[in-house]
Amino acid sequence: MLLPVVNGEDIVLRQYKGKENLQTGAYHIEEPVGELFTDYRSIDLVVVPGVAFDRNGNRLGRGKGYYDRLLPLINAPKIGICFPFQLVDMIPTEAHDIRMDKIITI
């Protein structure tokens, strides 16, 4: 399993190898340490968090553009995950926004 790690203005991916290999990173979130993962073609599925999603697969993030820069590099299905109250009728979008292939509410 790969997890995102904030690295300056971008997100990089690192392999999760257990709780013992986590350290507190940006935004006080525990993140995996170790080598960068850059073989984006080998990724089978991406699960993407968001502040809100709409039924057309559009996603509202936190405004830093981290996922807007990472997702175009990955050619795997993208699944947005959220609580039911985060699913709204319409999310405003821009040309660089990446649409989710599916939205799952939990």
| Number of C-beta neighbours around residue 41 at 10 A | 9
CA dist., res. 96 & res. 78, Å (int): 15
| Residue of 39, 44, 54, 59 with catalytic role | 59
CA dist., res. 83 & res. 104, Å (int): 8
Asked about 55 being catalytic, the answer comes back as no
Asked about 62 being catalytic, the answer comes back as no
What residues have CB less than 8 Å from 59, skipping those under 6 apart? 48, 50, 52, 53, 67, 80, 91, 97, 98, 99, 100
| Residue of 44, 54, 68, 101 with catalytic role | 68
Residue type, 79: I
| Residue of 69, 97, 99, 101 with catalytic role | 97
Asked about 89 being catalytic, the answer comes back as no
Catalytic residue IDs: 59, 68, 97
